[in-house]
Amino acid sequence: MFRNLSISTKLFLTFVPIFIIGIALSVYLNNENQEKQMQEQALESALQKAMIVKESLVNMMIESQMVNDKYLEKVQQVANLNDLYIRIDTSRLRLAEDFMDSTRVHRLGERVLLANNKGEYDNQYGNQVLATGKQQWIRLGDDFKAMIPFIAEKKCQRCHEVQIGDVLGVAHLDFPLTKIIYANQQNSQRSAMISGGVAFFIILIGFIFFRTLVQSPLKKLENATKEIGKGNMSDDLKLPDGNDEVGTLARAFTQMRSALKESQDAIRISTVGQVAASLVQDFRSPIKDIVNAIDEIKKSTLDEVKKNELLDEAKESAQLVNRMTQDLIDFTSGDIKVDKKLSSIGKLTRTVATIVKSDLEKQQIRFDVTAKFDGQAIIDANRTARALDNIINYAANYVPAGGFIRLETDSDAGKLYIRIIDNGAGIPKAFQEKIFEPFVKVVQSGGVGLDLALAKKIIEKQNGKITLVSEEGKGTTYAITLPI
């Protein structure tokens, strides 16, 4: 199916999908890279925010010896955070005796309870940070979680009985990535639209250039080829010009056309000469017989019987000339018209027998009819009788005196079968494929070599076919098949 499509369609179906896939892949990779860069920028921004929040919390604890919850809420709001809270390791965060009171202990307990009630990821990774002291960065859907450890420094020892380097707690910051994701989606859509627009423009321009520079010149070549196929060798045929491959092909085509025209003219002259020579030779014999008969009749010494015999011979020769002329006219007219109608096959065989029997009897050839089917069929009876007459007359050239020609009819499965069988010398194998070609004469017979060619044309005009089987020394069978 793909092979039968036009070149433009093949190119469209081949390259456009590849081009679109390439653009889509480019857009995808570009978007992936942009998203990665945005995530890195978001991470850097989150890290900066986290460190600022951490330092402010540390400074607040040093100055106020406590973390103010209202301050946390304000920082969360200003920094545009989804959540901000402190996870504390009470086993390490030991308050100095001077700072130990019920209020602080109660506040620490509330912070521990709040942290433990957070989600699975917060507890899992928050405890890892408490254990290792390494910060964690986790993306969950549209949120970005930062977990920054509070490492004990010397200034922490003012309020806590800790060792420098101990992990005292973790600041949990939950950053929303909705704006970044939305911006990235908008950028992706914009990039896809721009790339799609560029792709469509390139494809459109490519299509226009292809139609102008390739398809249109090729169409001219195609039309010129069709005209030459019809026999038009005129120099007026429009062909593409230029120095590209199509122009080079057009010039080669022009050269081929000129050479073909010269060859055709030479063949035509040669063929006309050969046919003319053959026709002159074929017509000369019966005309000579007519002239000789007339010359003999002019002699007054001939009796009446002899004159009648000569007149009959002249009449037969004139009929042969008429038959040869009619064959030539029918074949060269170009189109044999058939008039198919319901006809009797029995009547057809009787008509053919009447036409051929007298001539065959003169040649001492027996003619038989075996009618296994003599019903009715939709055929052109007159044309079919003419075809059978031609075949039988041609077959007679191979049958010696004492031989026979038999006409058989039969039918099966909606088909009419007609066979003409002889026991003559048979047709040489080398000529069997050419026997239905015009002006082919294996033997010197009365005619112009159109008997079988005309018969074949008549049969095929009725959607039938004709074949032959012949064996030298045993005879020939001509088989005709026609739809009933």
**Cα–Cα distance measured from residue 48 to residue 176, given in angstroms and rounded to the nearest whole number:** 15
**Cα–Cα distance measured from residue 72 to residue 428, given in angstroms and rounded to the nearest whole number:** 115
Where do the H-state alpha helices sit in 299-344? Answer: 304-332
DSSP letter (8 states) at residue 80? T
pLDDT tops 80 at residue 212? no
Percent of the chain past pLDDT 90, that is, above it, reads: 18
Task: Tell how far CA 145 is from the center of its chain.
Answer: 57
Is residue 172 helix, strand or coil? strand
Of 131-135, 320-324, 379-383, 443-447, which range is least confident?
Answer: 443-447
The predicted pLDDT at position 160 comes to: 67
Q: How confident is the model at residue 468 (pLDDT cuts 50, 70, 90)?
A: very high
* Range among 27-31, 226-230, 448-452, 464-468 with highest mean pLDDT value: 464-468
Domain ranges of the chain: 2-182, 336-483
40-75 pLDDT, tens digit each:
776 677 677 767 776 776 777 666 666 677 777 887
242-287 pLDDT, tens digit each:
777 767 777 777 777 777 777 766 665 655 555 555 555 556 667 7
The answer to whether 333 touches 438, Cβ cutoff 8 Å, is no
Q: How many CB atoms lie within 10 A of CB 252?
A: 10
Which residue, 152, 141, 145, 143, is CA-closest to 171?
A: 145
β-bridge mates for residue 133, sequence order: none
The answer to whether 146 touches 123, Cβ cutoff 8 Å, is no
Tokens of 233: 């060798």
pLDDT average, residue stretch 320-338: 68
Percent of the chain past pLDDT 70, that is, above it, reads: 75
Given the DSSP bridges, would you call strands 341-344 and 167-176 parallel, antiparallel or unpaired? unpaired
The predicted pLDDT at position 163 comes to: 77
Where do the H-state alpha helices sit in 333-402? Answer: 345-362, 381-396
The predicted pLDDT at position 34 comes to: 72
Task: Tell how far CA 289 is from the center of its chain.
Answer: 65
Which residue, 195, 193, 218, 206, is CA-closest to 16?
A: 206
Choose the CATH number for 336-483 among 3.30.565.10, 3.30.1490.190, 3.40.309.10, 3.30.413.10. 3.30.565.10
For residue 418, the surrounding DSSP H or E stretch is: strand 415-422
pLDDT tops 70 at residue 444? no
Select the more confidently predicted residue: 93 or 128. Answer: 128
